[in-house]
Amino acid sequence: MPQVVILTQGLSKTYRTGFWKTKPVLALDNLNLEVFENEIFGCLGPNGAGKSTTLKLLMSLIYATAGRAEILGESVFNLEARRHIGYLPESPYFYEYLTAEEFLTYYGSLFGFSRSELKARVDHFLKLTDVFHARKLQLRKFSKGMLQRVGIAQAIISDPKVVFLDEPMSGLDPIGRREVRNLILQLKREGKTIFFSTHILNDVETLCDRIAILNRGKVIGSGTLNELFDQEVSHVEVVLSGISAEKLRELVGPDVSVSQSGSTSRLELPAQAPVSGIVAGIEQASGKIISINPVRQTMEDYFLKLVGKPERRATPRLRN
């Protein structure tokens, strides 16, 4: 039975806004999460869904209005437990007057390492995140990608068991994104548990073992990708030319979607439709098949379906 590393029960956060602090805004409602050891867990949702709120509650940067959260079996307020936790905040800005080396040394000193051990760690993680060459440079001179990597370095300097990353790929170019992705996979290989939040679906698809989808402060889906949506073929797309729309309609019947674009026609056949029979019929009617494509439901489709539904605005959105 895999160990539960992160646990939330009924975790909720209501902000009070307005001039007199009386208007309540529900940022997170009754979050029940379990994250297991050595998995990469993704927290997915549009802006304002409550992802950052969840992370901040877990890092005890904000206080919950209801429920509780535990990391590695300890309350999130436990100071000593933080030795085993690493955190990279969203769009981090670090002390620009410090060099990378000074910065990591400063943060590392808060763990109480001996001077020699601290130096060893700082060098090791500077190299791991490929910023060793810039270690004597002040952080104000760092590019966004380098800052992000320094950020990961400070998150893992104590060799934590759990690493929390808030939108780790945001604002990065493709090279940067790949570097970060590789680092995350490396961390998993070392046995760590990674919890990260993002609104980029592609990252979730390629990295996560399990995910939770948030919208408007509520969890609207959680589990493995396989559990969540059917990756079976949803429909078959046939592109052809040379047959008129009416003839085509005769061939396929009323249930099939037909669209025309110039001289080509496009058919969306349901997965269980007799594809070969229809293809033969098209050829018999002197039509030319351009392509036949089985289409799987993408994550994006699933996500948009879940999230894109226009709902009645019960509570106003909160900016992440």
Partner 1 sequence: MKVLHIASNTFRECVRDKVLYNLVIFAVVIIVSSLILGAITIGDVKQIIINLGLSTISLFGTLIAIFIGIQLVHKEIDKKTVYSLLSKPVARHEFILGKYLGLSMTLAVNVSVMILGVYAAVLYLRHFFQASDVQILLAGILILIELMLVIAIALLFSTFSTPALSALFAFCLYVIGHFNTDIRQYGVSSDSWVTTVVASAMYYLLPNFGNFDIIARTAHSQFISADIYLFGAIYGLSYSLGLLLVAMWIFQKRDFK
Q: Does 94 bind partner 1 (CB under 8 A)?
A: yes
Residue 165, strand partner residues? 88, 196
Q: Which amino acid does the sequence have at 29?
A: D
Tokens 């040379």 correspond to what residue? 242
- Between helices 245-252 and 275-284, what is the axis angle to 10°? 140
Beta carbon of residue 13, minimum distance to partner 1 (angstroms, whole number): 9
Which of 34-42, 86-94, 263-271, 301-309 is the region at the interface with partner 1 (rule: CB under 8 A)? 86-94
Nearest residue (CB) to partner 1, 18 versus 112:
112
Near partner 1 by CB under 8 A: residue from 56, 199, 210, 216: 56
Q: Does 73 bind partner 1 (CB under 8 A)?
A: no
User: Pick from 190, 205, 130, 195: which is nearest to 159 by CA?
Assistant: 190
CB-CB contact of 189 with 99 (8 Å): no
**Interface residues for partner 1 in 219-238 (CB under 8 A)?**
none
Near partner 1 by CB under 8 A: residue from 33, 155, 180, 243: 155
**Interface residues for partner 1 in 112-151 (CB under 8 A)?**
112, 151
Q: Does 62 bind partner 1 (CB under 8 A)?
A: yes
Cα–Cα distance for residue pair 258/173, rounded to 1 Å? 39
Nearest residue (CB) to partner 1, 77 versus 305:
77
Q: Does 80 bind partner 1 (CB under 8 A)?
A: yes
Retrieve residue 287's tokens: 């039509």
CB-CB contact of 25 with 316 (8 Å): yes
Residue 21, phi-psi category: left (phi > 0), alpha (psi -120 to 50), beta (remainder): left
Residues within the interface to partner 1 (CB under 8 A) = 15, 56, 59-63, 79-80, 82-83, 85-89, 91-95, 97-98, 102, 106-107, 109-112, 151, 154-155, 158, 164
